[in-house]
Amino acid sequence: MHTELNLNTLLLVEALAQSGSFTAAAQRLGSNKTKISLQIKALEQQLGTALFRRTTRQVSLTAEGAQLVERCLPLLAELRAELQQLSRTDTELSGTLVLSAPEDYSNRVLIPLLLQFQQRHPRLQIDLRSSDQVQDLIKQGIDLSIRIGWLQDSSFKAQRLGDFQQWLLASPAYLQQHQLPNNPADLTRLNFIAFSPLPTPLWWCFVKGAEQQELRLHSNIKTSSTQSVTSLLLSGAGMAVLPDYSAKELIEQGLLQRLLPEWQLQKGGIFAVYPPGPHRPAKVRLFVDFLQQTLQQAAALK
């Protein structure tokens, strides 16, 4: 193809394919059949293939025409819908936003923000799928995944929204039965509740200024759920690491105590992960913008 394709001619193909005649297509488009016939003929010459079979009574698609209708016209419809969405106000978002997120992050952070976003967009439906397991965005039809921690190499596109700190915690009841640690080396005599989805759930590196200590903790219990880690902590089963957004309220309530606060653990990231492909619906873009802005405002207040 030596010249750029005029996408407006695809609208003519759509109208002609649906109406079955040049006369009906012209009436539908408010044009005349001669002009439409010439434009379709020019498109066929440009593509180098016939799109329609013409008889005195009707017009029907060729195999190539049917392929163009099946593959290209849905993309054109999606483009038109997206352009229309861009021209609307925020309150006119509609459809369903399907997103996944870790269970604890959903409960502690995401759900209140989703409710705020939905209040701004009352026609928008929310389908939140909370799970600590990484879900398949394509197979499960997920528009957006919020992931916490450290992303592995992936074909998915990711956008960093913010960061969180990791805090080492234990309940007052557990600490009454065990001597309070003064440095990371003391942790090896305490029981650690391991979060099994981590690549190395028992190895931790503690940093204080230029000083660094890496050690392997002892564990007699592990779980794949952050909710279970929290429950075990509150039950006095041992010490564990939670993100600051989960731990802060529990510390303020006196239910948990932070251990070795002068020693820092590696920060983690909060990511928006998109399915492959260049297209991001307006509902996804606007929610990610809202989430990033809200997280940045919260971080500025810390």
The pLDDT assigned to 247 comes to 96
Q: Residue 186: which residues within 8 A CB-CB, separation 6 or more?
A: 179
CB 100 within 8 A of CB 145: yes
The pLDDT assigned to 90 comes to 47
The pLDDT assigned to 129 comes to 94
- Estimate the crossing angle of helix 111-120 against helix 282-301, to 10 degrees: 130
CATH 3.40.190.10 placement within the chain: 88-164+269-301, 166-266
Q: With respect to CATH, is domain 166-266 assigned 3.20.20.150?
A: no
The pLDDT assigned to 55 comes to 84
Q: If pLDDT is split at 50, 70 and 90, which confidence band does 154 have?
A: low
How many helical (H) and strand (E) elements, i.e. helices and strands, does the chain have?
11, 14
Position 173 pLDDT exceeds 90: yes
Residue 146 region by backbone torsions, left for phi larger than 0, else alpha for psi between -120 and 50, else beta: beta
Q: Whose CA is closest to 157, among 180, 138, 129, 177?
A: 138
DSSP-derived secondary structure for 9-28: HHHHHHHHHHHSSHHHHHHH
Please give the Cα distance from 43 to 38 (Å, whole number).
9
Please give the Cα distance from 29 to 155 (Å, whole number).
42
Q: Which residues pair with 160 in a beta bridge?
A: 271
Q: If pLDDT is split at 50, 70 and 90, which confidence band does 1 have?
A: very low
| Sheet hosting strand 166-170, strand order edge to edge | 240-243, 166-170, 257-258
Report the pLDDT averaged over residues 134-162: 82
The model's pLDDT over 196-219, given as tens digits with 9 standing for 90+, comes to 988 899 999 999 999 999 999 999
When the pLDDT of each residue in the chain is averaged and rounded to a whole number, the result is 88
CATH class of 8-85: mainly alpha
CATH 1.10.10.10 placement within the chain: 8-85
- The correct CATH number of 88-164+269-301 out of 3.40.50.2300, 1.20.1250.20, 3.40.190.10, 3.40.47.10 is 3.40.190.10
The model's pLDDT over 2-59, given as tens digits with 9 standing for 90+, comes to 567 777 788 888 888 888 888 888 887 888 888 988 989 988 888 889 999 988 778 8
The pLDDT assigned to 138 comes to 79
Please give the Cα distance from 40 to 17 (Å, whole number).
11
The percentage of the chain sitting over the pLDDT mark of 70, rounded to a whole number, equals 92
Model pTM score: 0.66
The model's pLDDT over 65-109, given as tens digits with 9 standing for 90+, comes to 888 888 887 777 777 666 665 555 445 688 899 999 999 999 999
